[in-house]
Amino acid sequence: MEEKQPTAISNGLMYGLITGVILIFFGLILFLTDLYLNKYVSWISYLLLTGGMIYGTLEFRKKQPNGYISYGKSFSSCFWIGLFAGILTSIYMFVFAKFIHPGLQQEMLEQVRTNMAANQASMTEEQMDQAIAMTAKFMSPGIMAFFSVLMYSFASAVIALILAIFLKKEDPALKITN
């Protein structure tokens, strides 16, 4: 009996969930060490996402006939891994902001105010209050989760476009010679 080849979506789901769990644990570590509002440390999550995309796509490539994978399949695998990881992470973000740490929105707004005061010396207090009020409208847990999914979709597509160049392994028998 022939072994069924995994699809890019099924591979993406499996490795996306694994990557998402890793990202959630990383987020919890940042929260417990009080680094969750540090924008520089949070960039590590993109490295973890990229690592999950690479590992999952290499595993997908191993399961393909003779280990060959086209650019399109490589891109698709990377993208689905990133998308599913992003969806899981966004669900976690919603639960975190709504139930685990409901004061997150206020902390983020205070950080925005501090950054505005440091960078926009020409703004009046009234202008800062207006800007903070507008920013607060976009910081509900649901809206943050929605924009997180959009951000992960975009980031996954961009990262996948680049990674697929290096992760593809074209079948030399399919190359057309001139």
pLDDT of residue 83: 98
134 found inside a domain:
no
142 found inside a domain:
no
pLDDT of residue 164: 97
**What residue type is assigned to position 166 of the chain?**
F
Question: 136: which 2 tokens?
Answer: 């607060």
106 found inside a domain:
no
What is the number of structural domains in the chain? 1
Distance CA(9)–CA(60), nearest Å, equals 10
pLDDT of residue 3: 66
59 found inside a domain:
yes
Q: Is 177 left (phi over 0), alpha (psi -120 to 50) or beta?
A: beta
175 found inside a domain:
no
72 found inside a domain:
yes
Closest CA to 74 of 66, 87, 64, 84: 64
112 found inside a domain:
no
164 found inside a domain:
yes
Task: Please list, residue by residue across 123-148, b when 16 or more beta carbons sit within 10 angstroms of its beta carbon and e when fewer do.
Answer: eeeeeeeeeeeeeeeebebeebbeeb
pLDDT of residue 71: 95
Distance CA(138)–CA(145), nearest Å, equals 10
- Number of other residues whose CB lies within 10 A of the CB of residue 33: 10
The CA angle 106-128-139, to the nearest 5 degrees, is 35
Domain that holds residue 91: 8-101+149-170
For the entire predicted model, the pTM comes to 0.89
Question: 69: which 2 tokens?
Answer: 């994978």
Q: What is the pLDDT along the chain (178 residues), one digit of tens a residue?
A: 456 788 999 999 999 999 999 999 999 999 999 998 888 998 999 999 999 999 999 999 999 988 999 999 999 999 999 999 999 999 999 999 999 999 988 998 898 888 887 877 677 888 888 888 888 888 889 999 999 999 999 999 999 999 999 999 988 887 765 5
**What residue type is assigned to position 101 of the chain?**
H
